[in-house]
Amino acid sequence: MIYVLRMGHRIKRDERLTTHVCLAARAFGADGVILSGERDEKLLEGIRKVSEKWGGNFAVRYEEDWKKVIKGFEGDRIHLTMYGERLDRVISAVKKSRKDKLIVVGAGKVPRDVYNLVGWNVSVGNQPHSEVSALAVFLHEWFGGKELLRGFKGAWLRITPCKRGKSVVSCRK
Amino acid sequence: MIYVLRMGHRIKRDERLTTHVCLAARAFGADGVILSGERDEKLLEGIRKVSEKWGGNFAVRYEEDWKKVIKGFEGDRIHLTMYGERLDRVISAVKKSRKDKLIVVGAGKVPRDVYNLVGWNVSVGNQPHSEVSALAVFLHEWFGGKELLRGFKGAWLRITPCKRGKSVVSCRK
């Protein structure tokens, strides 16, 4: 199982980015997101609605105490940061471990503690970009691209890939 | 050369996401972003400052007429959309062409015209996620991961990857 911990969410400032973090987590094969920072039930509800429509068992929940989440997690704890070790150098070691994964991504500045509470600080490139792209590329490397081909059970909506336009199959009961 | 066309930018709503699109474009090896939608000089200036600090020749500019940009582009035009053809099925064909690339990503709903003006409509997975993750994973596939290792000339700031904490070398003149 792979969970994402989205830290330091600020309702007004991060609403859309956190939504994109959650959607990317789901689309690239994570099992769920734990949101920390400001409690944002509307955002969580939005993600649940997307999951209901598009299928799968993606879970989202809020936890005020991010330290408890990291410390209490039984498995590998990985913090994505531009300051961390190079992805290409650690990905095979990360893959070798068969334990569950907690992937930590921040919004704004991440408290220094996080760097010490995790087992790996991993950089998806050492340039500034986005927690959305870092998470997606990390998961894409982790799953080797297979995550993009998997089905989402119980979906009301499915897309049939096509050259032009949109082909959506609706199977709402 | 690879350029990204970010369409339909709305200053208030998309400020941070468009910034992340630009930063991801830069970090994952694109040469520049053309911004369309609402004119947002502050955002462009912010990206220019990042590029100055972190190096490289990443270019950003505004164009009101996105149709002119797409039609006038001499090279391959690729629109990233969840409705498009599967990335894994088209990436080798896209790679074979040695022409310049224009990668189109929307904010909000993309006008139907776009689907017909481009040569490829490509889906990075057929699930809803983010233009930031779609762009990053597309470029990551395109460059085969080598984009994360390239240097950025003239940088004032460079990161030395490390296991814990932050190691930043400042070489500002």
State yes or no: pLDDT of A173 exceeds 80: no
User: What pLDDT shows up at residue A108?
Assistant: 83
Q: Could you tell me which of B115, B112, B120, B130 has the C-alpha nearest to residue B21?
A: B130
* A59 strand-pairing partners: A32
- pLDDT grade, residue B88 (50/70/90)? very high
User: What pLDDT shows up at residue A171?
Assistant: 82
Tokens of A5: 């911990």
Q: Taking residues B8-12, report their average pLDDT.
A: 96
Q: Does A121 touch chain B (CB under 8 A)?
A: yes
Q: Does A90 touch chain B (CB under 8 A)?
A: no
| Angstrom distance (rounded) from CA B160 to CA B169 | 7
Residue of B nearest to A149 (CA): B125
In chain B, residues with a C-beta closer than 8 Å to the C-beta of A145 are 88, 141
User: Three-state SS for A130?
Assistant: coil
Q: Taking residues B36-62, report their average pLDDT.
A: 97
For chain A, give the percent of residues with pLDDT over 70: 99
Q: Does B163 touch chain A (CB under 8 A)?
A: yes
Phi, psi of A158 (to 5 degrees): -135, 145
Q: Could you tell me which of A4, A2, A1 has the C-alpha nearest to residue A105?
A: A4
Q: Which of A13, A24, A85 sits opposite B163 (nearest CB)?
A: A85
Note whether A128 contacts B24, CB cutoff 8 Å.
Answer: no
State yes or no: pLDDT of B173 exceeds 80: no
pLDDT tens digits, one per residue of B121-172? 999 999 999 999 999 999 999 999 999 999 999 999 999 999 999 999 998 7
In chain B, residues with a C-beta closer than 8 Å to the C-beta of A90 are none
- pLDDT grade, residue B108 (50/70/90)? confident
pLDDT tens digits, one per residue of A80-92? 999 999 999 999 9
Q: Which of B85, B132, B137 sits opposite A20 (nearest CB)?
A: B132
pLDDT tens digits, one per residue of B54-87? 999 999 999 999 999 999 999 999 999 999 999 9
In chain A, residues with a C-beta closer than 8 Å to the C-beta of B165 are 83, 112, 115
Q: Does B149 touch chain A (CB under 8 A)?
A: yes
Task: Compute the residue count for chain B.
Answer: 173
Q: Does A28 touch chain B (CB under 8 A)?
A: yes
State yes or no: pLDDT of A126 exceeds 60: yes
State yes or no: pLDDT of A172 exceeds 90: no
Q: Does B114 touch chain A (CB under 8 A)?
A: no
Q: What are the respective helix, strand and coil percentages of chain A, to the nearest 5?
A: 40, 25, 35
User: What pLDDT shows up at residue A124?
Assistant: 98
Residue of A nearest to B118 (CA): A164
The overall average pLDDT reported for chain A is 96
Q: Where are the beta strands (DSSP E) in A46-124?
A: 59-62, 76-86, 101-105, 120-123
b/e code A63-88 from CB counts within 10 Å (16+ = b): beebeebbeebeebbbbbbbbbbebe
Note whether A27 contacts B129, CB cutoff 8 Å.
Answer: yes
Strand order of the β-sheet with A59-62 is A59-62, A32-37, A2-9, A101-105, A76-86, A120-123
